[in-house]
Amino acid sequence: MKKLLLYLPLFVFSFTLSGQAQLDTMSYQDDDGVEHLKITTYYPGGEIRSIGFYSKKKGHLTREQAFMRGVKLDGMQNQQAVLFPEKDRLPTLDSTRMYSIDGKLQERTISGPDKVVRFTYEYDEPGRLVWMIEEELNRSTPIKYIALGRLMFFDRNQIVEGRIGETVQVDIPIHIKGTGDFPLTLSSSSSQLMIVNQKTFKPERDSVLSLAIKVPADIKEEYLELKDDSGKTLRFPITIIGYDLFSHDFETSDLSEVVFPMDGRKQLVIKADESKLIRLYRDEELIDNYPTGQIRSEIDIKGFRKGQYVVEAVDFRANQKKYCKIRID
């Protein structure tokens, strides 16, 4: 088993690059003879801007090898090339920390043998940490959004689509990090959101926040309030988008017996997807053409006579027409 020994500093060196902030560089060597570098940069006023930890291990590329292979040096490595031109081996990033001028941690990067993980920190106006965003830079893994220290989401907001006037069940995936139970209180001031579960979540498990959401006739952004047992809170945004008709409501024939009621509606809202033109018919007579430049298409039906209408969706790319029926009461 390898012994962990205290590092002994070889030297500390301060250096100011032309047109750049001051650098402090400290060199260490471990019991295996591996050289480690700590590079600290400062804002013009003397506040710490970044701290980087590097190591020079055997088998790493030389500057010449990096040049021949087209490997671009990062900012710290370029600074090292100026500070230590006699050193041949490139320093390898172990970890870095970036700070704002008021001392708040903004970004942290950790490099391992097979992955590089970046943590980004976001604060609210009073300076309270709201989100820690975890991202593996060299892998196609989902970005993780961590709040309240242990509560991990896979999206930083929830988008809900549904049929106008209906109530839909929504489960927001979460994961509880760390050890120990995680009591969580859910609430909302919105009449659109209804809390289904209030419970204590178990550590290192996947779970869900269950809601019942009433779908409005427009687009609304509501907030789910989450509070842990220490009193810390998070406002989690939920965007609710209502439609009257979806693409799966349309069929290739206009003979369908399914009719969608438009009770008291002043607009017909369609999720058009690939359709670029909507046509509205009554008694086989064309009322009008409605180009759809966006996925959400709104057609004014205020003042239309009561009765049954045929809606035609035209997809020019696929050279296809589909139909559904609505009834205005």
pLDDT value, residue 274: 78
Any idea which of 57-61, 105-109, 244-248 has the lowest mean pLDDT? 57-61
**C-alpha pair distances (Å), 226 with each of 128, 180, 182, 222, 270:** 15, 18, 12, 13, 33
Per-residue pLDDT tens over the stretch 181-192? 999 999 999 999
Whether 52 has a pLDDT exceeding 50, the answer reads: yes
Q: Could you tell me which residues come within 8 angstroms of residue 221 by beta carbon, excluding any fewer than 6 positions away? A: 237, 238, 239, 240
pLDDT value, residue 88: 52
Whether 126 has a pLDDT exceeding 50, the answer reads: yes
257-288 residues labelled b (16+ CB within 10 A) or e (exposed): eeeeebeebebbbbbbeebebbbbbeeeeeee
8 Å CB contact between 317 and 274 = yes
**C-alpha pair distances (Å), 271 with each of 197, 249, 302, 325:** 31, 10, 19, 15
d(CA 135, CA 130): 16
pLDDT value, residue 86: 45
Q: Could you tell me which residues come within 8 angstroms of residue 303 by beta carbon, excluding any fewer than 6 positions away? A: none
Whether 85 has a pLDDT exceeding 50, the answer reads: no
pLDDT value, residue 115: 82
pLDDT value, residue 30: 80
Mean pLDDT of 280-294: 89
pLDDT value, residue 20: 54
Q: What are the domain boundaries of the chain?
A: 8-141, 153-243, 247-328
Specify the fold of 153-243: Immunoglobulin-like (2.60.40)
Residue 308's pLDDT band, with cuts at 50, 70 and 90, is very high
pLDDT value, residue 57: 63
Whether 91 has a pLDDT exceeding 70, the answer reads: no
Per-residue pLDDT tens over the stretch 217-255? 999 999 999 999 999 999 999 999 999 999 889 999 888
pLDDT value, residue 13: 52
Whether 92 has a pLDDT exceeding 60, the answer reads: yes
Whether 303 has a pLDDT exceeding 50, the answer reads: yes
**C-alpha pair distances (Å), 284 with each of 277, 308, 311:** 17, 11, 11
**At residue 75, what are phi and psi to the nearest 5 degrees?**
-60, -45
d(CA 317, CA 50): 52
CATH class label, 247-328: mainly beta
Q: Can you tell me which residue has the tokens 């589909």?
A: 322
Report the share of the chain in percent with pLDDT over 70. 83
Q: Can you tell me which residue has the tokens 């930890």?
A: 53
Per-residue pLDDT tens over the stretch 133-157? 999 987 788 999 999 999 999 999 9
Residue 263's pLDDT band, with cuts at 50, 70 and 90, is confident
Q: Count CA atoms closer than 13 A to 35's CA, side-chain side.
A: 15
Task: Go through the chain and tell me how many residues it has.
Answer: 329
Whether 106 has a pLDDT exceeding 60, the answer reads: yes
pLDDT value, residue 272: 79
pLDDT value, residue 273: 80
Q: Is 241 helix (H, G, I), strand (E, B) or coil?
A: strand
8 Å CB contact between 23 and 79 = yes
